[in-house]
Amino acid sequence: MRALIQRVTSAQVHVDGALIGQCQAGVLVLVCAMQGDSDDLPARLATKISKLRIFKDDAGRMNRSLLDVGGAALVVSQFTLAADVSRGNRPGFSAAAPPEDGDRLYRAFVAEMRRTGVETATGQFGADMTVSLVNDGPVTIWLDTDS
């Protein structure tokens, strides 16, 4: 699985103009299931994100986790994280998991985020979404369970 984590002061996702998910201070997680991803990966990724020390401590250093600060998460599925542009200018997405696997792993990841104790809102798998955020820092981190 791949994830792009952005530390935010707020984030929202809309579908057809309707607000369907939002969070205040915490993280926006754009997540993509990849071909061949196993069922144990959502739990590993959720644990890593919930414990990732990207929030400031009293000295202003990134030393606190999402759990430490009581932050929230907005999780949005984004198959375009699997883009391959090595053969020209048009991205290919064949590395992404098929939709049925992607949806199952996305839902499992959301459940695992909630299981860690992080308040978690979501987008809508497969929908054309509009995502807005206020990036804090900015802090943006790429995670790949293969590495």
Residues catalogued as catalytic: 78-80
Helices 41-51 and 99-115, axial angle in degrees (round to 10) = 40
- Give 91-144 as a 3 state SS string: CECCCECCHHHHHHHHHHHHHHHHHCCCEEEECCCCCCEEEEEEEEEEEEEEEE
